[in-house]
Amino acid sequence: MNAHAKTSKLDHEIAVVMRVVEQRTLAFMRDELGLSSTSVDRRTHHARSVVLRPITAIVGIGSRAGLYIAYSYDVGLIRAMTKRYTSGLGVGEDAEEIWIRETASDIVNVIVGNSTADLAKLGELVTLSPRSEERRVGKECRS
């Protein structure tokens, strides 16, 4: 197989994964959190570094392509998501930072985990490798 064919196949595999994860993300936000999206911002990077927001959860997908999916949350959004996600659990404000990190990770794991089932139906073999958040909500995030 020549280099162009390999690149085209890889681009196709990545596009399929992104489409499935995007659909699952929008459904989760709507069905579980009552949030609707006005737009979707997706990026593929071949660069060595990417600027991430203060709360970022990353999951590695071990498909033939092998890629990472990062959800980099706006601080106000992840705080609102955490309140909705943990409603009824009696979470105190003193534990908010912990619950924010847990919510960010759990949401990504649920979405990408469900996406793997969709990808398997499409004939894509995938495995998951969760990563912890890259940064924590700090003083600079409080407003």
Higher pLDDT, 66 or 22: 22
Averaged over 72-97, what is the pLDDT? 88
Alpha helices (H) in the chain, listed in sequence order: 3-33, 75-85, 96-121
Averaged over 35-57, what is the pLDDT? 79
Q: Are the C-beta atoms of 30 and 93 separated by less than 8 Å?
A: no
Q: Which residue has the tokens 């912990």?
A: 98
41: pLDDT strictly greater than 80: no
| pTM of the entire predicted model | 0.75
pLDDT in tens, 85-141: 888 888 777 888 899 999 999 999 999 989 988 888 888 656 555 544 444 444 333
Running DSSP on this structure, what letter comes out for residue 68?
A: E
CA distance 29 to 16: 20
Q: What is the pLDDT of residue 47?
A: 64
Per-residue confidence at 29, pLDDT binned at 50, 70, 90? Answer: very high
